[in-house]
Each structure stands twice: as C-alpha cells, then as structure tokens.
Amino acid sequence: MLRSILAVISVFVALCASSSYSPFLPSFMDYSLNNEQAQRYFFAGKSEAALGVCNSIPFQSAQAGFASAVGLDSTVSWRQASLLTNATITMIDSGIDGLAQVCSVRQQFAATLGFSYDTCINRFYLISLGNTDWWNVMVYTHLMKHLEFICSTGFDVYQQNVDCIRKGETTDGNLYKACFYKFNATVNANPNNFCGATETFIGCIKDFFTTECNSYTGWMQCELERVGFAYDCYNLSCNNDF
C-alpha cells in the first residue's frame, strides 16, 4: 500500500518537474495534468467521427525526419513526446534563427504527410495505435498544433516581440508560471469546471503578454493556448482589443 502511494507520488513529482514553461513553445506538460486528467478532459466520451487514413510508412519517415532535425536520434518516435518537445523548445529558445529552423522542420513534416497530416496527428488515431498513454498523446498533439500556429500566425509576432516574450522565462517568469500554477490549482479544486478554469487561464496568459509586450502579442499568446483547448471547450475566446 505504502509502496504504491510512494509510486504515485513519485510519478506526480516527475510530472510536475517535467515542464519548462517556455513562453516560445508552451507545452501540454506545463498544465501539470496527470494521465487520468488527460483521459478525462480530452478523451472520455469523445471520438472523431470520420477519421481519414494515416499510412505508417510516411508517418514513420516524417517523424524520423522531425526527430533528427531537432537534434535527436531518428528512432525517437511520437511515443516519446516529451523528449521531442524538449528538443524543439531548446531549438526555438535559441532565437529567431532557431524558430525559423523549427518551422522549416515542421513544414517538411507536414509536406511528407500531405493529406494524411490531420489524421496522423489526431489524438484519437494515435491512442488507437496503442503502446502509449493519454498524456503522451496530448503532449505530442499539442506540440504539433502549437507549431502549426507559431509557424503561421505567430511567426511575425514572435519575430517582432522576441525580447519581451522572453521576459516570460526571465525577469517576470514567475508571473507567467503563476498562470499555470493557478490553472493547476483550479482544475484540482474544481474538477467539474475544466472549461471555466481554461477560460481564466487563457485570460491570464493574455494579460501577461499584453502587459509585457502589447495587446497584439497578448492576443497571439492567448490564441496559441486557445487552439489547444478549443475542441473541448467551445466558448473560449481571446477577444482582440487592438
């Protein structure tokens, strides 16, 4: 009994420690949700009606290309999503050149998959492949969804605001992290109001970057978080006030 409690605690501590809270590439790890919560909020009672096809050969090849381009062994698969995320964060964190490099890696990944892209990074499809858990699937799909946004709408905003966005990991990093801690506390205190907690959270992110940078960056960072939750919480909005 004590053994299993300790095991649960050590898993939890590991989960909490496994975040880097990068304002350049927020990740699913930052939410401090555990595997059960990932299942409950992102899978339970949900499914995707008409999934397309994801052929394993191009998927493997696209994934191998992605892994080696971010400096990992090409055998690192989507089943090691936190490793992939960390390597991608390291590259993006190095500055605009790193961001451009990551975006070209992503572009190559998406181009290799073509029409199957959406299915290959679909959470319900990935969980159906087995040999993974809910949490890992969410870390992976968040990574891909976030890159999609950062490399399109977000790119110019990053380019023009890189210094103030970086404040999220330096001077005022604790204020930025506080949004995530508050989210964690709210979700745990109020498990049935996940979407409410999400709404408060994206507002917190928006306020932080509006203050540090400008309202356009606040809106962009809020959108970046919103896209990760929009499928599960319908009414989220990052009203722009610029």
Ligand X SMILES: *[C@@H]1O[C@H](CO)[C@@H](O)[C@H](O)[C@H]1NC(C)=O
Closest CA to 61 of 101, 102, 98, 110: 110
Q: Which is nearer to ligand X, 161 or 198 (CB)?
A: 198
Q: State the DSSP code for 1.
A: -
Nearest approach, Cβ of residue 111 and ligand X (Å)? 27
C-alpha span between 184 and 201 (Å, rounded): 10
Nearest approach, Cβ of residue 119 and ligand X (Å)? 25
Give the position of tokens 């809106």: 219
Nearest approach, Cβ of residue 188 and ligand X (Å)? 4
C-alpha span between 42 and 235 (Å, rounded): 16
Q: Which is nearer to ligand X, 72 or 215 (CB)?
A: 72
Nearest approach, Cβ of residue 26 and ligand X (Å)? 13
Nearest approach, Cβ of residue 216 and ligand X (Å)? 26
Q: Which is nearer to ligand X, 81 or 220 (CB)?
A: 81
93 close to 45: Cβ distance less than 8 angstroms: no
Token readout for 79 is 């089943």
132 close to 77: Cβ distance less than 8 angstroms: no
Q: Which is nearer to ligand X, 118 or 172 (CB)?
A: 172
C-alpha span between 106 and 109 (Å, rounded): 5
Residues in contact with ligand X by CB under 6 A are 16-18, 20, 32, 82-83, 86, 181, 184-185, 188, 195, 234-235
Q: Which is nearer to ligand X, 20 or 160 (CB)?
A: 20
C-alpha span between 106 and 25 (Å, rounded): 14
